[in-house]
Amino acid sequence: MMISLTAEQETLLIPLYDKATMKEIIDDPTAASIVAQVDYDFSALRQPWVTRATLAMRARKLDQCVRDHPAPLVLHLGCGLDARVDRVAPAQGTRWYDVDFPQVIELRRRFYRETADNRMIGSSVTDHSWMAQVDGEGPALVIAEGLLMYLHVAEVKALVLALRDRFPGGQIAFDAFTTFVTRRMSRHPSLRKTGAQVHWGVDDPMEITRWAPGLELAEEWTFGDPTALTGLGPLRRMQMKAMFALPVARHTHRILRYRLGA
């Protein structure tokens, strides 16, 4: 199957491939099936093993966020071709929305079917009118994997505040780079291949809590956390421990979870 995506949209293939191939970290047969059907040279992404491992770890951690913090409404922003709803198997009655660009959702519909509880919305997340298509009020769990770094700071702030206003009492979990890493990400071979541009990074997670009353940091998780190493063999575990031994290295890429106020 041939696919045609913009530079930023093409980045959805990077985590898809990692989830399909890093079976020691994450079990995702749906990703493996999709990769087998897509006519794309994944080797051209030239991903180092560490990148593939950390992206699989990121997905596994965000899956766990959904399991640990059940909510009647889950918003999966920048969903791409990810099968999170299948991997976490939310409780019956949980309303789940997968949101991404219309072109991406059109592609997604080739592999996934909507149900009464699992719907798809084709929209840029920065066009907040998509929230009107969500059936439900009150607390929501928002997951944004590999998304916010491609936005500008003003867009990130506006999105977080819009989610806070529309779904009060909810939570948002996402991954973020530091500003130093953000400036250097254009050199990464995968991003050079796709041409995507990373714009936003954050050094102090508390900075986001100052955007508006009610925003509270609930968790900061790094790849130096012992839970990140689950499934790795002894040599790979030693490699990851050495890589993230220093605090400055541990915090270059992390997952942040915030409460969105009452």
Instruction: Give the tens place of pLDDT for each residue, 60-75.
Output: 999 999 999 999 999 9
Token representation of residue 86 = 């299948």
| pLDDT tens for the 262 residues of the chain, in order | 656 666 666 778 889 999 999 999 999 999 999 998 888 888 877 788 888 999 999 999 999 999 999 999 999 999 999 999 999 999 889 999 999 999 999 989 999 999 999 999 999 999 999 999 999 777 999 999 999 999 999 999 999 999 999 999 999 999 999 998 888 765 555 555 555 688 899 999 999 999 999 999 999 999 888 899 899 999 999 988 888 877 777 788 999 999 998 6
Whole-number pLDDT of residue 245:
78
SS3 content of the chain, % helix, strand, coil (to 5): 45, 15, 40
Whole-number pLDDT of residue 167:
94
SS3 of 35, please?
helix
Q: Residue with structure tokens 């790849």? A: 223
The span from the CA of 133 to the CA of 105, in Å, is 15
SS3 of 230, please?
coil
Strands of the sheet containing 215-222, edge to edge, are: 118-122, 95-100, 73-77, 141-144, 171-177, 253-260, 215-222
